[in-house]
Amino acid sequence: MRNKMFPFSLIVVILAPFLVKCRQQGEKEQRATQATTPISVDSTAALWYKNSVMYTLDVEVFQDSDGDGTGDFKGLTQRLGYIDSLGADVIWLAPFQPTPNKDDGYDVSDYYTIDLRLGSMADFQNMIKAADARGLRIIMDLVVNHTSNEHPWFREAQRDTAGPMHDWYVWAKGRPENYDVGMVFPGVQKTIWSLDSRSGLYYYHRFYDFQPDLNAQHPQVQAEIKKIIRHWLNLGIAGFRLDGVPFFIEVPQTKGEKFEHQYELLSQMRSFVQSIRKDAVILGEANVLPAENEHYFGRQGEGMNMMFNFFVNQHLFYALATGEVKPLKDALDATSEIYPNAQWGQFLRNHDEVDLGRLSKKDREKVYAAFGPDTSMQLYDRGIRRRLAPMMHNNRKQLELAYSVLFSLPSTPVLRYGDEIGMGDNLALKERNSVRTPMQWSESFNGGFSSSVKTVRPVVDTGIFGYPSTNVALQQKDTASLLAWTARMAHLRKQCPEIAYGSWRLLNSGSPQVLVMLYSWQGKSLLMLHNFGKEAVQVQLDREDVDFPHLQLVATSGAVVKTDQDIPVLSLPAYGYYWGRSATVLK
């Protein structure tokens, strides 16, 4: 009888799951190694965005130069010196193109010029030149996931359903099954498909019904987006904050709410942007789970250069609200594996609500209780529509802790205009407009923003956050002001390349309320401790982790290091922080 061999094909079938698992584990370990590999000195110039401080503003509420009540580019140009002195070297501009202004400029009606309320194209170009002279880079919002329904493209798509522009948008003949699911603004927005009375068809809109989604899969739309990108890069823009990235790259369907994503659109955009301006960047707005990050950054870093870390932001607010740091540590670990040329953008507040949608309902309620207990302070069943200072009851120690953490995280810090002076909000304004009030420059009329009786949005003028009490001019005279402190920390952050280019790891603090991070780069180490608790605490760290005898103070809020004992002890006051540098590379 012939010996029967075990079929090779059967062996392959049996081993296939194991081999796939091994490959996936190998790829994960490779990414982890890449993520913790320090950047060489020779690479830092090309990766300028890693060691920058970003300042975000909306031109229409920053400075009015001509007294019509609306901020403009001439006004921004006048204030560039202030932004420079603050320590920022990148300015991210909210949309400034023509718009019906139903969504604060995010409903664009012309991608190639300037909203006349904000000035002329010449004013814009003069601002770019003035910024460049100061070494300030300008990036702008690129809102190509949708247009205004008043855009000529959409008007033509409505008018001629057989014409070439019709397919620039997404249509359905009958009411789709998923017409009322997956809203970006639940509680305010009613549907994601709306009936167009002119064409008799339903059109797709992930956002408001006056913002029809562009069909990004259409070759002509892709070509048009490239024209828009080239136009602004040629005018001196240094990059783009890409709005609503998951919705830009999704392939809409008439059923369900979880759609396929065309991630290759991001690498194609990155390649095109850098073919025109090599040092230009794409900063993406993508509130996604950590498992999806690789799709947006690219497997080899060929996707977006930067992405906002919403996942860490939400857990940071949980830590600030409760004093518990473990969820924050877990979030940092979960988002640590990114390619070396990629970078997180980290923020405390931005132009939207504090989105807490990734937290459990129980944890979200804890943050609500601390920072937004009244329902008027909450929004979209997931967030808080307040500025940072009023959320924290203007507690200076907690505000300093929050910003010390921001500047110390493995990311590029992003500052929201006005938060550096502790501006307040106006909850009487609709939805997110509560945190979009005009900049408060002085004690003069309208806080020095405008000489007009009527302004584009009311200036906060009463209480401790009103412009007579909270403004730039007053704080510039006080070396102990929040503005002075924030500027010192911003400059200090840029003097710590360990954070930008080094490897990092979390250390065990022995306390549930203390976050400890250790950075290493080019022969130096940087130790950073933050006490999220309301009480002082003593932290004991291992001598093998920290070179205490050679630790030099970088910044602190009153922490004390005691090394005259077997186990070095670091005492942190309530909401205290400590930054210390060692000339020793620690393992």
Length of the chain: 587
Assess whether pLDDT exceeds 90 at residue 582.
Answer: no
Structure confidence by residue, pLDDT tens digits, 277-296? 999 999 999 999 999 999 99
At 393, which amino acid appears?
H
404 and 543 in a single domain? The answer is no
Question: Angle 310-322/361-371 helices, nearest 10 degrees?
Answer: 60
Structure confidence by residue, pLDDT tens digits, 91-112? 999 999 999 999 999 999 999 9
256 and 339 in a single domain? The answer is yes
In a domain, 331, yes or no: yes
488 and 512 in a single domain? The answer is no
Q: Is 413 helix (H, G, I), strand (E, B) or coil?
A: strand
Assess whether pLDDT exceeds 70 at residue 42.
Answer: no
The 8-class DSSP code of residue 459 comes to P
| Structural domains of the chain, count | 3
What is the predicted pLDDT for the residue at 114? 98
In a domain, 18, yes or no: no
What is the predicted pLDDT for the residue at 8? 45
In a domain, 381, yes or no: yes
In a domain, 313, yes or no: yes
- Cite the beta strand spans of 324-444 per DSSP E: 343-347, 354-355, 378-379, 383-384, 412-416
353 and 379 in a single domain? The answer is yes
In a domain, 346, yes or no: yes
Start-to-end C-alpha separation, the chain: 63
510 and 586 in a single domain? The answer is yes
Residue of 213, 229, 220 lying closest to 271 (CA atoms) = 229
Residue of 185, 195, 176, 310 lying closest to 253 (CA atoms) = 176
Rounded average pLDDT over 10-21: 49
Q: HSE, CB side, 13 Å, CA atoms: give it for residue 465.
A: 25
338 and 189 in a single domain? The answer is no
Among the listed residues 89, 104, 141, 285, the single catalytic one is: 285
What is the predicted pLDDT for the residue at 4? 42
What is the predicted pLDDT for the residue at 523? 84
In a domain, 24, yes or no: no
At 345, which amino acid appears?
G
Assess whether pLDDT exceeds 90 at residue 217.
Answer: yes
In a domain, 12, yes or no: no
Residue of 103, 86, 224 lying closest to 152 (CA atoms) = 224
The CATH number of residue 570's host domain is: 2.60.40.1180
The CATH number of residue 115's host domain is: 3.20.20.80
Supply the Cα-derived Rg of the chain in whole angstroms. Answer: 25
Q: Is 581 helix (H, G, I), strand (E, B) or coil?
A: strand
Q: What is the distance between the alpha carbons of residues 268 and 159, in angstroms, rounded to a whole number?
A: 32
Residue 261 bridge partners (DSSP):
250
Assess whether pLDDT exceeds 70 at residue 489.
Answer: yes
Boundary of a domain, candidates 468, 494, 520: 494
Assess whether pLDDT exceeds 60 at residue 230.
Answer: yes
Rounded average pLDDT over 383-392: 98
449 and 550 in a single domain? The answer is no
Q: Is 532 helix (H, G, I), strand (E, B) or coil?
A: coil
Respond yes or no: is residue 29 known to be catalytic: no
- Residue 343 has phi, psi (to 5 degrees) of -150, 140
The CATH number of residue 174's host domain is: 3.90.400.10
Among the listed residues 60, 123, 243, 337, the single catalytic one is: 243
Q: What is the distance between the alpha carbons of residues 78 and 65, in angstroms, rounded to a whole number?
A: 8
155 Rama class: left (phi>0) / alpha (psi -120 to 50) / beta: alpha
By the 8 A CB rule, do 561 and 568 touch? Answer: yes
Q: In the structure, what pLDDT confidence band is assigned to residue 537 with cuts at 50, 70 and 90?
A: very high
In a domain, 567, yes or no: yes
Respond yes or no: is residue 156 known to be catalytic: no
Structure token digits, residue 182: 């997956």
297 and 440 in a single domain? The answer is yes
Q: In the structure, what pLDDT confidence band is assigned to residue 566 with cuts at 50, 70 and 90?
A: low
Assess whether pLDDT exceeds 70 at residue 483.
Answer: yes
Containing structural domain, residue 190: 152-204
Average pLDDT value over all residues in the chain:
92
124 and 87 in a single domain? The answer is yes
327 and 392 in a single domain? The answer is yes
Assess whether pLDDT exceeds 90 at residue 40.
Answer: no
163 and 93 in a single domain? The answer is no
pTM score, whole prediction: 0.92
What is the predicted pLDDT for the residue at 280? 97
The 8-class DSSP code of residue 528 comes to E
Boundary of a domain, candidates 494, 512, 542: 494
Element (H, E) at 9: helix 8-35
Boundary of a domain, candidates 474, 494, 514: 494
295 and 431 in a single domain? The answer is yes
Element (H, E) at 123: helix 121-133
Q: HSE, CB side, 13 Å, CA atoms: give it for residue 540.
A: 5
